[in-house]
Chains A and B, each alone.
Chain A
Amino acid sequence: MHQRLRTRINDFAIKLANVNGTGSASANSLLMQAIFRMGIPVSGKNLFPSNIQGLPTWYEIRVNKEGYTARALDYDLMVAMNAQTYGRDVREVREGGYLLFDSTYPLDPGFHRDDITFLGVPLSHMCNENFKDPRERILMKNIAYAGTLAAVLDIDMKVVEALLDEKFSKKKALYESNRRAIRLGYDFAKRHFECPLPFRLETMDANGDKILIDGNTATALGCVYAGATVAAWYPITPSTSVMDAFTEFCHQYRRDPETGDNNFLILQAEDELAAIGMVIGASWNGARAFTSTSGPGISLMNELLGLAYYAEIPAVVVDVQRVGPSTGMPTRTQQGDLFEAAYASHGDTRHILVFPANPAECFELAKSAFDLAERFQTPVFFMTDLDIGMNDWVVPRLKWDGTYVPDRGRVLGAEELKRIVKFERYNFEDENQVVARTLPGISSKGAFFTRGSGHNKHGIYTETPEEYQEVVDRLLKKHKAAAEFVPAPVVRKREGARIGVLTIGGCDPAVSEAVDLLALRGIELDYMRLRGFPFCRDVERFIADHDFSFVVEQNRDAQLHSLLILETSQPKDKFRSVLVYGGFPLSAKHVVDGIARQLEV
C-alpha cells in the first residue's frame, strides 16, 4: 500500500485528459461551475490543441479555499480518458494521488505506478448499455465521469442537477440522457469506491456574488457599454469569441425598441488589413470602432496602424495574444506581442497599451481604451491573452457606473467652427499636445485632408524638414502625456521589502500567490502590476525605490523587461527577468522557482 494523502478540504487540483472533439468540454465546465456554485474559489484552465477533432486536450481544475487560483502543477487526481497521452498523464499524478480510467479496456501495465490509486469505472461499457445513439455513447462517457467525480469529491449533487436543469431545460432528450449518465457514474463510484477521497469539497461562502466569465465575453460586453457601434474583424484564434459575444450582446441590447433597427454594424472583413482600415474609416467619421485580433493580425495591421498614428485617428485594437512567432501555437497563451504593439508600423511610431489582468478588468478597462483612443486621437491596444480571454475566471461582479460619460476628445462641432477664423488640423495643441479634429458632414469650414504623407501643422502636405519634425515631435510629447492617463498600476507592498516584482495581465494570480509563498520563506517582495503603456511616474518611482525588481512575463525575449529599460530612465541592473513561455498559463511555482533561483535561496 502506498502512503495516503492527508485529508484536505477545498485544496487540490485535478486534471482531465481528453480527446478533442469528444464533448468533454461541457462535462468539464459543468464540474467547474458546480464547484463555483458551492461557494469555493476555483479556476479552470483549458489546455487545448489547434484542432477540431482527435488531438489531445486537457482541462485542469484547481480548488483553493485561500483563493489562489493560478494554474497548479501538482495533480491529486487525473481523469485519464485519452489513450494517446496515457503514459505522460500517469506520470503527472502526484505521489499518493489517484487516477480515474475507463475500465472497459485493460490498462497498459507498462505504465503502472505503485504509489497512486487507480479507480476503474467501466464508462464505455455503461454508456453502450444505456444509450443507443453512437454519438451519444461517446458524449455521455464524459458526463458519466463527471458523476463519478461528483461522488469521489463530494460535489453537491443538488447543484449538479440544478445546472443540468438550467442547461437542458429546453432540450428534453438531452436532459434525460445527461441525468442518466451522471447517475451512472455517481452510483458506480458510491458502490465501488471509498467516497469521498481524502481531498474533497465542502460548501463554503467565498464567492459571494462573484461571477464566472471568460475575458473575451467580458471584453465584448465592455465594448458594448463603451458605446462602440462599428466593429470589423477577421476570424482568428483566440480572439474570435470576442466578436461572437459582441454580436450576441448587440442583438440583445442594441436593437432599437421602437424601430427594430440595429444600432451597430459588424463587418467580417476580408483580412486584417481591411479590418483595421474599416475601424480607421469609422473612427475618422466619428463612431467608436474596434477590431479584435491576435498577433498575426497585428502583423498585417502594421501598415494602417502607422497611418492612424501619424494622421491622428482613434482606433481600438483588442489583441488576445497567442504563441508566436508566425502561426506559432494558436491555442496556447503568451504575452509575446508587446514589442509588436508598442511600436507597430514603420518609421517612428509608438502606441498606447492597456493591460487588463482578468475578465473583470476586461470589462472595466474597455471603456478606458476607447476614452484614451479618442482623447489622444491614436490607436490603443487592449492587450489580453488566451488565458484571460478563453478561460472562465471567478471575478467580482461587474459594476456599471451610470455617471460615465465617454471622453470623445477634442472634436469641433459646427458652432465652435463658426467661432474660429480658420480650422487647422494639426495646430493649436492643448496641454496634452492634442489638437482638435473635425468630423465629415459637419461644415465645410472644418474640412481638411487626412493623409499619411508628410504634413505640417496646418494639415498641408510638406517635405520640409522643420515642418515635418514639428509635427512628429508633438506626437512624441503627446504619447508621453498619455502616461498619466492610462490605467494606473496596482501595487501591493510588504513591510521591509527591498526587492520589487513587476508583471502584467494574466500573470497576476500566479505572481500574487508567489509573493505570498516567498514571504513564507522569508523573501519579502513589493508587487506592482502594470496596466498601461507608456509607463507613468509611479512605475519609475517603484523601480527606483527598490534595489532591483523581477519582471515576470510570458515570452522568450523579456519584452516587458526591455520596454522598461527603453522607456524609463532606470538603469539595466535594476531588473531581472523571470520568463515562462511554453504556452500554458503561468503557475506560482514557475515564479517562486524563477525568483528563488536568482536569489540563490
Chain B
Amino acid sequence: MPSIAKPIAVHPSLHRNKIGLTIRDYEGSMSTLCAGCGHDSVTAAIIRAFWELSTPPHMIGKLSGIGCSSKTPTYFVGGAHGFNSAHGRMAAIATGANAANRELTYVGISGDGDSLSIGLSHMCHAIRRNVRMLYVIENNGVYGLTKGQFSASADVGSKSKRGESNRLAPIDPVSLGLSLGATFIARSFSGDKEQLVPILKAAISHRGFALVDVISPCVTFNDHAGSTKSYLYTRKHEVKATETDFVPPAAEILATIGPSGTTNVTMHDGSVVRFRTVPKDYDPTDRRLVTEYLQDHQGSGEVVTGLLFMDETVQDLHELNQTPRHALSKIPYEKLCPGAAALEALQAEFR
C-alpha cells in the first residue's frame, strides 16, 4: 500500500495522556483510501481509543489481512509493529503472535471479504480459542479493491453499483460470533465516533477475543441508493441497543444515569463498562436473550448497534493453556532445554 509520511510537528497546546503522549503520537502515515471512506473514521476512532487508554505504542501489535480495511494499520500508531499479512489469514497469524507474547495488546483489522469469506474459518477458530485481541471488521458489503463485487455480508436485495441485486443470504458476524461463543461482541457505525470510541476501549481491555463489527460504507462502490451498507441506509435503520461508557480501573464513576437505568459490567482488569439507555428487555450478559433480541430486530431490517454482548468469565487462550504470565518468547533458553542428564535418563525408555 502506498503511504505518505505526515509532518511530525506537534502543537504545544495538544493534550497529553498519562504517558505524556499527544494524540498525534498515535497516528500513522497518511491514508491513501478514497475521500470519505468509512475506514478512515474507524482509524481515527482507534487512534483516540489507544491515546485515551495511554497504551504505549511499542506495546501494540497491529495485524491485518488484505483489502482496503487491511491497509489501515499503516494509518495508526506508527510506533507499533505492524503486519499486513495475506488475505484472510490475519486471525491465524495473530493467534501465533499472541501465543508467543501475551504482553502486547493486539489489534486485528479486517474486512468483510477478509473475515467472512476467505478467512472465515480462521476468525471462527480465533473466537473459539478466545485469543485476546481487538478484532475489527470494517464491514461495507463489497469488495472495493477489485471494484465492487458483493461480499458475504451483502444483504439480500441490496443493489450493486451496476444495479444487480444480491440474492445470497448474508453472513452476519454478530450472529455468528454469538453462536460461536464469542466473549465480546459489538456493532457500530463508522459515522458514530461517540459510540465507537468507548466500544473500542472496552474491546481493548477485554481479556479475550473482542469482535467489533463496524458498518463502514464504501463511498466509491457501495454508497448508492438501493445499497443496505450506505451512509444513508445505516443512519435511517440504526437502532442502538445499548450506549456504553468505558470507565478505566480506579477512575471515579461520574457519568449520568440514563432514563432506562444502567447496567455495569466489571471487566477482568477492574475497568467497568456501563450500559446506558438499555431497553428494559436487554441484558448484554445473556447470550440467549441477546440472540433473540437481534433476530427480532434484524428481521424488521434494523441495524442494531452498541456493545451487544460481553462475558468476562471465560478464560482466554493463555489461561486455557496455563502458560506463564509473561511472554513465552522471553523465557531464557536455559529454562527451555532439559539438558544432557535428562536426555541420558530418558533413553532408558528407548532400550
Contact = CB atoms under 8 A, between A and B. Distances in A.
Contacts of A402: 339-340
B314 interface: no
Contact of B343 (A266, A271, A398, A443): A398
Nearest to B104: A441
Contacts of A36: 351
B96 A279 contact: yes
A287 B343 contact: no
Contacts of B125: 269-270, 274
Interface in B36-83: 57-59, 61, 63, 73-74, 78-83
Interface string A266-305: 1101110111011111111111010000000000000110
A441 B323 contact: no
Interface stretch (B87-95, B166-174, B177-185, B299-307): B87-95
A283 B351 CA distance: 36
A230 B84 contact: no
Interface string B122-133: 101100010000
Contacts of A304: 85-86, 89, 93
A275 B91 CA distance: 11
A113 B328 CA distance: 64
Contacts of A279: 96
Given A440-B80, A441-B59, A274 B121 contact: yes
B93 A277 contact: yes
Contacts of B260: none
Interface stretch (A121-129, A188-196, A257-265, A426-434): A257-265
A461 B32 CA distance: 12
B7 interface: no
**Interface of B (DSSP majority class):** helix
B256 interface: no
Contact of B350 (A213, A229, A269, A440): A213
B121 A270 contact: yes
Residue in B61, B317, B323 with the greatest tally of chain A CB atoms within 10 Å: B323
A491 B121 CA distance: 48
Given A229-B100, A263-B324, A447-B80, A269 B343 contact: no
Residue in A36, A447, A460 with the greatest tally of chain B CB atoms within 10 Å: A447
Nearest to B56: A444
B333 A449 contact: no
Contacts of A225: 337-338, 343
B95 A278 contact: yes
A274 B89 contact: yes
Contacts of A444: 57-58, 78-80
B98 to A, nearest CB: 8
A267 B323 contact: no
A84 interface: no
B3 A287 contact: no
A337 B96 CA distance: 26
Given A282-B97, A399-B340, A441-B104, A406 B58 contact: no
B331 interface: yes
Interface string B256-279: 000000000000000000000000
B333 A405 contact: yes
B65 to A, nearest CB: 10
A461 B2 contact: yes
Contact of A441 (B91, B101, B121, B342): B101
B3 A461 contact: yes
B99 A263 contact: no
Nearest to B103: A441
B84 A450 contact: yes
Nearest to B122: A274
Interface string A378-411: 0000000000000000000111111011100000
A87 interface: no
Contacts of A441: 58-59, 61, 81, 101, 103-104, 327
A286 B322 contact: no
A253 B347 contact: no
A227 B100 contact: no
13 contacts: A264-B328, A269-B125, A270-B121, A274-B125, A277-B95, A281-B100, A282-B96, A286-B101, A286-B330, A400-B339, A440-B104, A449-B73, A461-B2
Interface of A: 36-37, 211-213, 221, 224-225, 227, 229-230, 232, 253-254, 256, 259-267, 269-271, 273-275, 277-287, 289, 303-304, 307, 397-402, 404-406, 438-444, 446-453, 460-461, 463
The list of the 3 closest CB pairs from A to B, nearest first, reads: A281-B96, A277-B92, A444-B79
